[in-house]
Each structure stands twice: as C-alpha cells, then as structure tokens.
Amino acid sequence: MVFNRMYARTPTPLFLTDDYLTGTVAKENNQSEKNNMEFFLDTGDVDEIRAAAAWGIVDGVTTNPSLIAKTGRSQKEVITEIIDIVDGPISAEVISTHKDGMLQEARQLAQIHENVIIKLPLTEDGISACGILSTEEIKTNVTLCFSANQALLAAKNGATYVSPFIGRLDDVGHDGMDLIEDIRTIYDNYGYATEILAASIRHPTHVRTAALMGADVATMPYKVMKNLFSNPLTDRGLEIFLADHARVN
C-alpha cells in the first residue's frame, strides 16, 4: 500500500495558479469543496447514537438491514428517531432487488425527511435506480462496493456517496485501503463529486488510513468511535497533572 498523499483531494490540473488556490478550479471540476472528514455512526442503536452525539463529532448515521434487524423495530421507526438525534445524512437501505421496487421504496423513504439518504446495492438494478433518483435530486449511497470499477459506475450515475467495504475486503485477504486509494485517484482524475464513504470499518487504524487516503467520510461502529479518543499516555499524563496539582493545593 502506498500513501498517495499528494494526490488525495487534489484536482487536476496540478498548476498552482491563483484560480487553483482560491478554489475556482475546484468548482469548475465539480469537485467537493469540503475540508472536513465526516464521521458517521454505523448503527441502528439510538442509545449509542445519543451517547456519541454528545461528543459533538457525529455528522451522520448509516444503517443497513442487518443493523435495523438487531433493533427489533421497523426501519421507519428507527430512522425517524435517528433524525431527531442527528441533523445530518441518515442512510436507509432498500430491500427490493429490482429497479422498480427500489425506486418505490426510495421515494417513500425520501419522504420521511430531507436528510434521508437512499442506500442502494451495487447491482445493475441498483446503479440504474441510482441514475433515476439522481435526476429526481434524491440523494443516494451506493453500498456493497468492493472494486474501483464498481465505484466508477456509482459516480457515473450520480451517486451522492459510494460505500467501499474495507473490513470485509481485509477479511478475505485483500487490503481494503488500496480500494479507497484507487477510488480517490479515479474520482479526482475526473472530478466526480461522489463522496467516498469508507465503510465496514473495524478499528481506529482503518479511520486513520481512510483519512490519509482522502476518504470524505468514515462510518464506524460506536465502539470504534469511542476508541478514537483513547490513548494510555493521555490517561497517564492526566493522572500525573492532577496528582502534581493536588500536592500543592
């Protein structure tokens, strides 16, 4: 794996002109102008979402049918409750496998709230539905992405987000981060505005590497987000500061 830091988030052409520096070129390339890596929680558990939201770093939430099933509640009920907790993009996945069914579900889900993002599987029907929904200005998250070519298809049909599954690639002996790097390069080559949402994140190192690669968003379980804070040197350093303060006060 090579960290392609120079390429990450850099629009082509690579000339350091005033236009480039003031962002005009970025606009012309339809390049996302965001300069913030967003953190989404990957869960349907509203207690976890409330706890993490208190940290002030949760920008959105992703769910999938497995995560919703764990709650024992309906998707609509869970999504509606999440919307009241987090004011940001909330991904809700369709169940249909055929385009017409996907479109019907997507339009219903989109009516719940403007923050609802329609999660579609990276299949022929899913990509086709993505193209139609993007003309209706319904935001989409194309999920179950395991290759750069699949990510290219999602961008070509106007996906708002693409979700490469890093952890599941690692599970079968690949390096999921190579995929993030490839997608970043391809999207920057053509100025696609589709955001790279690093998904299936299993540990803090995935978050760090996704940030180095220039992923726009990292979605992670509550446990991983909580672990981002922790470092034994911080704990030990604080103990020493407090002990020193207590000795003279």
| Shortest Å distance, C-beta 198 to ligand G3P | 9
Nearest residue (CB) to ligand G3P, 25 versus 145: 145
- Interface residue with ligand G3P, options 65, 88, 131, 167 (CB under 6 A): 167
Annotated active-site residue 119? The verdict is yes
Check binding of 64 to ligand G3P (CB under 6 A). yes
Tokens representing residue 25 in the block: 């070129």
Q: How far out from the chain centre does Cα 238 lie?
A: 33
Are the C-beta atoms of residues 34 and 49 closer than 8 Å to each other?
Answer: no
Nearest residue (CB) to ligand G3P, 31 versus 143: 143
| Shortest Å distance, C-beta 60 to ligand G3P | 12
Segment contacting ligand G3P by CB under 6 A, of 7-15, 80-88, 120-128, 162-170: 162-170
Nearest residue (CB) to ligand G3P, 167 versus 191: 167
Question: DSSP class of residue 126?
Answer: H
Check binding of 40 to ligand G3P (CB under 6 A). no
Q: Prior bond to 13 cis, omega within 30?
A: yes
**CB half-sphere exposure, 169, CA atoms < 13 A:** 21
Q: Which of residues 182-221 bind ligand G3P (CB under 6 A)?
A: 199-200, 219
What's phi and psi for 143, nearest 5 deg? -110, 175
Residue 121 makes CB contacts below 8 A (sequence gap 6+) with 93, 94, 97, 142, 143, 144
DSSP assignment of 89-114 equals: -EEEE----SHHHHHHHHHHHHHH-T
For helices 75-85 and 99-112, the axis angle rounded to 10 degrees is: 40
Closest-CB residue for ligand G3P?
A: 200
Strand partners for 142: 120, 162
Segment contacting ligand G3P by CB under 6 A, of 49-57, 145-153, 164-172, 207-215: 164-172
Check binding of 75 to ligand G3P (CB under 6 A). no
Segment contacting ligand G3P by CB under 6 A, of 16-24, 160-168, 204-212, 223-231: 160-168
Q: Which candidate in 27, 119, 156, 226 is catalytic? A: 119
Site of interaction with ligand G3P (CB under 6 A): 42, 62, 64, 165, 167-168, 199-200, 219
Which sequence positions are flagged as catalytic? 119
